Structure 1
Amino acid sequence: MPLPVLTTAALLGTGEALARSGALPAEIPPVSEIAGWLWTNLATVDLWMAVSQTLTHWAVALVLGVTVGTLVGAAMASVPVVNELLLGTVEFFRPIPVVVYLPIMLLLLGARPAVVILLAAVAALWPMLLQTLYGVRDIDPVTRDTARVFGLTTPQRLAWVTAPSILPYVFTGLRIASTITLLVAIAMELIGAVAGLGNTLATYASNGLYAATYGVIVIAGLLGVALNAVFERLERRALRWHPSHRTQNA
């Protein structure tokens, strides 16, 4: 049996034993109770409605954040004037946690999905912006000069030089942004009382339904793992020509 499976089984067994013995607080239920809740409720409409609402927030926010981040990052890396204009603003706002903006957004828009989407999109923007910025700047100058010497047009240089060079960076940013967007979306749903897994989690926790609370946490974790696996597979397929992926597949 693989070591990760044994380790997981040992951790779950230890958690079950500690919870049953009373060594853990009452707020931490036995693993068997969490599993029982999942088995009973996994096919319920309400749970899947919450999952679909969170996935909708995640998808829209990811598209917005990735699009804006990629465009701004490429512009900053390619046009010195744009970089000078935006660099200070980017460095100022990038370290600020998005949760800081939540009270302002709730005052302006109320507890609506738009608040979750906008804040999650801001969280997705930064990794995409930085990865695109690094990717464009990392293009070999000799390759750029060669493309110009051979008379490639701007669209041709974008398609044959820029895009292949920055794709590994873009996919890395996409995987990071995907995870961050999901985390922020659930957190904003929880704090802002917007329908989704986060709000479901808050409702269960406030009513003392601890097995249900941890069950939702498990679902959120599995959702994150599944989305990351999807993007890893897309990356391998899209970059199978790249030296790093050829080495892995060899």
Structure 2
Amino acid sequence: MAALRLRGFRAAPGFLVVAGVLVAWELGSRTGLLPGSVFPSMVTTLGALAGLFQDPAFWTSFLQTIASWAIGVLIAAVAGVPIGMLLGRVTFLYNSSRLLIDFMRTIPSVAVIPLITLMFGATMEMKIILVVYGAFWPIMIQTAYGVRDTDRVLVDTARSYGLTGLRTARFVLAPSALPYLVTGMRISAVVGLLLAISSEILGSAPGIGLDMALAQTGGALTLTYAYVVFIGLLGVCVDFGLNKVSRAVLYWHPSVREETA
């Protein structure tokens, strides 16, 4: 109970700030400080958001966005983890591929939307490929960093006990790289969500991003703001869930144990 009260006390300032912003938004729209042609009131925006929740078409678009995001991040993880472990383990491969990796990962993922759209059209496949492209690099690079940061004594000890390469990777390299991998997954998940929605807005792929763009094009200002609020809430939920998952996975890590204590 004491821990719950402490967490509630820590979260109280954040809720107060959010409540203050919402009140200021509503007061600004009612007093004319925020022009109605640009800023709809908070009450009408939340009403439009509630209306979206009752629309089956909205949930269909939402599932299309979430599906492309989840599939893309999963494919990026399946490809990025083994490649990252290989690059981290083999110094020659790591050094020889750094220039190419640095070049590829510095290309803004949004910049390749027109190219991927030309190749695959405004489809789910286009979104998934874009998410994979953006989410792959943080996972792969963080995994490689984690493997390279492994204590050499542990590797030498595993070798002295006759562990094979696969068993060394499983029992020595993977646990050592896990904190780095979790960080890479959190970055990739957020980047992937941004890219999924961006591809819907810029590439006209099906999803909530396309619905928001259509509402904006049609002059439905309140509905557009409702989509913006929902996308922001979705990002908060994703970050909160990833934080919980990372704490559960890294329960043994000193940083998590100290925070819990």
User: Contact 2:69–2:193 (CA<8 Å) still a contact in 1?
Assistant: yes
User: Contact 2:122–2:206 (CA<8 Å) still a contact in 1?
Assistant: no
TM-score by length of 1: 0.95
1:31 aligns with one of 20, 42, 45: 42
User: Contact 2:139–2:185 (CA<8 Å) still a contact in 1?
Assistant: yes
Q: In the alignment, what sits opposite 2:100? A: 89
2:129 aligns with one of 97, 112, 118: 118
Given residue 17 of structure 1, which amino acid in structure 2 is its aligned partner? L
CA distance in 1, matches of 2:52, 2:208: 14
CA distance in 2, matches of 1:154, 1:91: 28
Q: In the alignment, what sits opposite 2:3? A: none
Deviations, residues 218-245 of structure 1 (Å, cap 9, x unaligned) = 1112212222222222222222122221
Q: Does 2:19 correspond to 1:9?
A: yes
Identity of aligned residues (%): 34
In structure 1, the residue corresponding to 2:154 is in which secondary structure? Answer: helix
In structure 2, the residue corresponding to 1:248 is in which secondary structure? Answer: helix
Note the aligned Cα RMSD (angstroms): 1.5
Q: In the alignment, what sits opposite 1:241? A: 252
Deviates more, 1:191-200 or 1:67-76: 67-76
Q: In the alignment, what sits opposite 1:21? A: 31
Deviates more, 1:79-88 or 1:129-138: 79-88
CA distance in 2, matches of 1:188, 1:198: 8
Q: In the alignment, what sits opposite 1:195? A: 206
CA distance in 1, matches of 2:178, 2:15: 34
CA distance in 1, matches of 2:73, 2:147: 21
Q: Gaps (5+ residues) in structure 2?
A: 1-8
1:106 aligns with one of 117, 121, 126: 117
Q: In the alignment, what sits opposite 1:163? A: 174
Deviates more, 1:215-224 or 1:137-146: 215-224
Q: In the alignment, what sits opposite 1:56? A: 67
Q: In the alignment, what sits opposite 1:71? A: 82
CA distance in 2, matches of 1:239, 1:8: 30
Deviates more, 1:177-186 or 1:108-117: 108-117
CA distance in 2, matches of 1:111, 1:227: 25
Q: Does 2:138 correspond to 1:127?
A: yes
2:184 aligns with one of 168, 173, 186: 173
1:216 aligns with one of 218, 227, 247: 227
In structure 2, the residue corresponding to 1:24 is in which secondary structure? Answer: coil
CA distance in 2, matches of 1:205, 1:46: 17
In structure 2, the residue corresponding to 1:215 is in which secondary structure? Answer: helix
Given residue 46 of structure 2, which amino acid in structure 1 is its aligned partner? A
Deviates more, 1:48-57 or 1:142-151: 142-151
CA distance in 2, matches of 1:9, 1:183: 26
Stretches of 4+ aligned residues off by more than 3 angstroms: none
Deviations, residues 96-124 of structure 1 (Å, cap 9, x unaligned) = 11122122222222111111111111110
Q: Gaps (5+ residues) in structure 1?
A: none
TM-score by length of 2: 0.91
